[in-house]
Amino acid sequence: MFVIETEHLTKSYNGFLAVDDLNLKIEGGEIFGLLGPNGAGKTTTLLMLTTLIPPSSGTAKINGYDIIKEPDKVRKSIGIVFQDPSSDELLTGYENLKLHGWLYDMPNDVKEKRIKEVFELIELTDRKDDLVKKYSGGMRRRLELARGLMHHPKVLFLDEPTIGLDPQSRDRIWEYIKVLARKENITIIITTHYMDEADKLCDRLAIIDNGKIVVSGTPEKLKKGLGGDIIRLKAEGLETAALERLSYVVNVSSSDGVVSLTVNDASGHLQEILKTVGKVESVEVRSPTLDDVFIHYTGKAIREGSPEGGWGDKVIHARSGGR
């Protein structure tokens, strides 16, 4: 059963097409990733799906409810964890969840039972009476996950769920997200600029660029779809033209003095590639990652820790057919 379905979902602003004829089907219980460079249409898509802005044309259904005709029912079916912290730091963790329960008009007995459940789920029961301003970044993020779950949503939207967290806190949040999808039987939609996060968490994902979905599938399928191994060469002033002419080279990209090649049978052709390019500082051979998939389909590389910029590394495509 599809919990989220978009039908020709489109949004334009003063002639600019932010989301262009988007068609998505997401099954119940999936963890689904929506990836894309800044300005690709991710945020606009989420704003429409959560009924915060209307589409210019087309529509979508969330939990069977139309976002245009039944927005109130859609809102009762969803939870949202925003990128920026939105819990009240002058209230305790318990008070934040209690306030959320009031906003959703939850009966007192149901509300208290649910607060207890979600605090146990995020392992913060012993800190529930502490002011939120005393929470660490990871604890605050977990509290906001709990708040998004208070009213038993069918769909939970997570916008950059681990941004700004240290690696240990990120790993814990990942584990909580997996547990939430299983124990709460909910569908989770994630936007993230961390490719390792998308790889570990998402059952499926879609890459959106210029308002359109350019590719979708499981992380493993997308990585295998590149059709070869990755060779990274570091050298000053390395020319790519000769590499692009090699028949077994599927794709060539260049960024910050590093040339990346997608190659059929890297081990069998490495010596010839090194002879072709001449002197290099370093060589790396590995299997494709989601970063490679992202570059292949968008022509841009993402810079770690810079979600609001840092896009636009130059990419040269050779016989890739990727765009």
Question: How high is the mean pLDDT of the chain?
Answer: 87
Kindly indicate the confidence band of residue 176, based on its pLDDT and cuts at 50, 70 and 90: confident
Handedness of CA 153, 159, 160, 163 (dihedral sign): negative
What would the two tokens of residue 75 be?
């809102």
Kindly indicate the confidence band of residue 13, based on its pLDDT and cuts at 50, 70 and 90: very high
- Going by DSSP bridges, is the β-strand pair 2-13/25-27 parallel, antiparallel, or unpaired? antiparallel
What would the two tokens of residue 219 be?
């992380």
Kindly indicate the confidence band of residue 22, based on its pLDDT and cuts at 50, 70 and 90: very high
| Amino acid in position 139 | M
What per-residue confidence (pLDDT) applies to 307?
41
Domain segments of the chain: what residues? 2-217, 222-298
Any idea which of 75-79, 105-109, 172-176, 212-216 has the lowest mean pLDDT?
172-176
Beta carbons within 8 Å of 294's beta carbon, 6+ residues apart: 35, 195, 207, 300, 301, 302
> Can you list the positions of beta strands (E) in the chain?
2-13, 16-22, 25-27, 31-35, 57-62, 65-66, 78-81, 155-159, 187-191, 204-209, 212-217, 229-234, 249-255, 258-263, 282-286
Q: Let me know if domain 222-298 sits in CATH 3.30.70.920.
A: yes
Would you call 87 helix, strand, or coil by DSSP?
Answer: coil
Task: Using the predicted structure, report yes or no on whether residue 69 has a pLDDT greater than 70.
Answer: yes
The answer to whether 252 touches 318, Cβ cutoff 8 Å, is: yes
* Distance from C-alpha of 104 to C-alpha of 93, rounded to nearest angstrom: 17
What per-residue confidence (pLDDT) applies to 37?
86
Task: Using the predicted structure, report yes or no on whether residue 312 has a pLDDT greater than 50.
Answer: no
> How much is the average pLDDT of 299-317?
41
* Distance from C-alpha of 180 to C-alpha of 56, rounded to nearest angstrom: 33
Kindly indicate the confidence band of residue 302, based on its pLDDT and cuts at 50, 70 and 90: low
Task: Using the predicted structure, report yes or no on whether residue 226 has a pLDDT greater than 50.
Answer: yes
Residue 90: how many other CB atoms lie within 10 Å: 10
What per-residue confidence (pLDDT) applies to 301?
62
- Going by DSSP bridges, is the β-strand pair 204-209/31-35 parallel, antiparallel, or unpaired? parallel
- Going by DSSP bridges, is the β-strand pair 57-62/2-13 parallel, antiparallel, or unpaired? antiparallel
Q: Indicate if 222-298 has the same CATH topology as 2-217.
A: no
How large is the C-alpha radius of gyration of the chain?
22
Residue 31: how many other CB atoms lie within 10 Å: 24
> How much is the average pLDDT of 265-294?
89
> How much is the average pLDDT of 280-293?
90
* Distance from C-alpha of 282 to C-alpha of 145, rounded to nearest angstrom: 43
The answer to whether 193 touches 33, Cβ cutoff 8 Å, is: no
Would you call 177 helix, strand, or coil by DSSP?
Answer: helix
The answer to whether 242 touches 288, Cβ cutoff 8 Å, is: no
Helices and strands (DSSP H and E) totals, the chain: 11, 15
CATH classification (class only), 2-217 = alpha beta
Q: Which pTM value belongs to this model?
A: 0.81
Task: Using the predicted structure, report yes or no on whether residue 320 has a pLDDT greater than 70.
Answer: no
